[in-house]
Structure 1
Amino acid sequence: MSAAGKYAVVTGGASGIGAALCRALDLAGAHVLCTDIDGAAAERTVASLSRRARAARLDVTDAAAVQQTVDDVVARAGRLDLMFNNAGIVWGGDTELLTLAQWNAIIDVNIRGVVHGVAAAYPQMLHQGHGHIVNTASMAGLTAAGQVTSYVATKHAVVGLSMALRSEAVPRGVGVLVVCPAAVETPILDKGAVGGFVGRDYFLQNQGGRPYDADRLARDTLRAIDRNAAILVKPRVAHAQWLFARAAPALMNRMAMRFVSGQRSRQAQRSAAGTADAG
């Protein structure tokens, strides 16, 4: 399914992967509704796109608002072709430091936000007989390491939801794709730190310090939609890690233990150095 002429909703579209998806869709000739909890930032994203693109403020934790967004597109266009459930947050740090409020926040955005998008878009797509749902997960939804425990839990849920839904949806004319990138150059690399956690250092350790380009991932995603792929894993090193984790889960877990121990040691060293400098 080419994106040209299609109507798409992108959540979390103001920055990072979401903004890159909006740019790729616009370039491909789609009608894009860029949504984000930061409505002004969504407007800035759309300002560089064609007149087909629009922006709207949307809190994905508000099920009624997500439903209204989908309903508005359908009322305007007569259909919804592409639903990108992309909005997400991360908390990084030792699990015991997370508050219940932080757990609830990440569950609300990363899981319920996707559920709300599916609940709003999927019945409409079944009714019209076509469409595609694209859920942004992460390599954290395919492998597991500590210090991003809540993020891992939510992204595993998104992968499971997507694969289960796909088994129902594809025979009925609706595609489902789950996108599982390793570290991508987005603001999320520098957010959600708890304790001495440094997200950029953590997420880039297995990529040689080089994040994947968000615009490249967006182009990869549109190609994956065109071939009705079930899952997209990028870059190649991440795909190799995923295959390794499937083949040797116990060994992968031991490697994760060593990785987390190394991260905690580096965090302690940075903290000690900062204390010494302050003294």
Structure 2
Amino acid sequence: MSAPDLTRKTAIVTGGGSGIGASLTRALVAAGAHVVCADLDLAGAESVASAAQGLGSATARRVDVTSADEVQQAVDAVVAEHGHLDLMFNNAGITFLGNTEDLTLDQWNAIIDVNIRGVVHGVHAAYPQMIKQGSGHIVNTASMGGLMAAGLMTSYVTTKHAVVGMSLALRTEAAAYGVGVTAVCPAAVDTPILDKGEVGRFRGRDFYLEGQGIKNPVDPDLLARRVLEAVAADRALVIEPRQARMAWRVGRLAPIFVNKAATKFIAKQRALAT
């Protein structure tokens, strides 16, 4: 499928200063959209926005997704300038990796605030505007961790399951208003998140790749293109790469087998970390 034409479309990408968000910003600008690259790290967002090339344009904005007011202000600013908001990418996220008993309540609260409430704030701000204009698309970045479950990333899996459930439920409501909803569920993506959020002695990158049965992480630019194709086709889920789609199907058909395999993998990881 060729890249969609997004000329004169407007978009907000949270977590746009790095990783998947940066790739989405670049892909949107290349497709002709005007993009607000929103991130807590304003310098990172400015760097991405200034480097994006294409028929569209990008501006940077500092947005803390844990603040409903800041997310609402970003949406209001786009509508005030352009009269509409066409695409809302709720992409900002964090992760913690390690034994669940080692997680502090502060860490639990942080990941819930960003990964769940951050998406809720984006939906709460953008969805009423899209209903009003009778069009639009909301894209929520989840993870394979939102479709399948494995230990040592319990807090992350919890939040991403919530994002998938929210997206699929909202999709059934939003269709009546001409609004689409898509959940993005990639396996390990080659972004800085693979090397962040480690708890204890567990190493993120190797854990994510081995645990998801892939040799190489997903290229974020390729993922961004797949996401825009999915939006154009109004697909409910984006699952990348092919091995991830196969694993998801196996998990649906044989959940007990997958649970046992995950339990063995966790035991191996704990032994390696001691």
Under TM normalisation by the shorter chain, which class is it? over 0.9
Q: Please name the residue that 2:262 is paired with.
A: 256
C-alpha distance in structure 2 between counterparts of 1:13 and 1:212, whole Å: 18
State the Cα deviation string for residues 33-73 of structure 1 (Å, max 9, x = none): 00000011100111112472100100000001100100000
Tell me which amino acid in the other structure corresponds to 1:42: A
Task: Look at both structures and tell me which one has the larger radius of gyration over its CA atoms.
Answer: 1
> CA contact under 8 A between 1:60 and 1:66: conserved in structure 2?
yes
Normalising to structure 1: TM-score of the pair?
A: 0.94
Aligned residues, how many? Answer: 268
Q: Which residue among 154, 157, 178 is the counterpart of 2:159?
A: 154
C-alpha RMSD over aligned residues:
1.0
Q: Please name the residue that 1:39 is paired with.
A: 42
Q: Please name the residue that 2:203 is paired with.
A: 198
Any unmatched runs of 5+ in structure 1? Answer: 269-279
- Determine if the alignment matches structure 1 residue 209 to structure 2 residue 212: no
C-alpha distance in structure 2 between counterparts of 1:266 and 1:217, whole Å: 31
SS in 2 for 1:168: helix
C-alpha distance in structure 2 between counterparts of 1:208 and 1:78, whole Å: 43
> CA contact under 8 A between 1:85 and 1:113: conserved in structure 2?
yes
Q: Please name the residue that 1:116 is paired with.
A: 121
Post-superposition offset of 1:171:
2.2
Q: Please name the residue that 1:25 is paired with.
A: 28
> CA contact under 8 A between 2:27 and 2:225: conserved in structure 1?
yes
Q: Please name the residue that 1:272 is paired with.
A: none
Tell me which amino acid in the other structure corresponds to 2:178: G
Any unmatched runs of 5+ in structure 2? Answer: none
C-alpha distance in structure 2 between counterparts of 1:162 and 1:49, whole Å: 28
Q: Please name the residue that 1:84 is paired with.
A: 89
C-alpha distance in structure 1 between counterparts of 2:67 and 2:222, whole Å: 30
- Determine if the alignment matches structure 1 residue 96 to structure 2 residue 101: yes
Tell me which amino acid in the other structure corresponds to 1:26: V
Identity %: 59
Post-superposition offset of 1:209:
3.1
C-alpha distance in structure 2 between counterparts of 1:239 and 1:267, whole Å: 29
- Determine if the alignment matches structure 1 residue 49 to structure 2 residue 52: yes
SS in 1 for 2:21: helix
Normalising to structure 2: TM-score of the pair?
A: 0.96
Is the deviation greater in 181-190 or in 258-267?
258-267
State the Cα deviation string for residues 211-247 of structure 1 (Å, max 9, x = none): 0100000000000001000011000000001011111
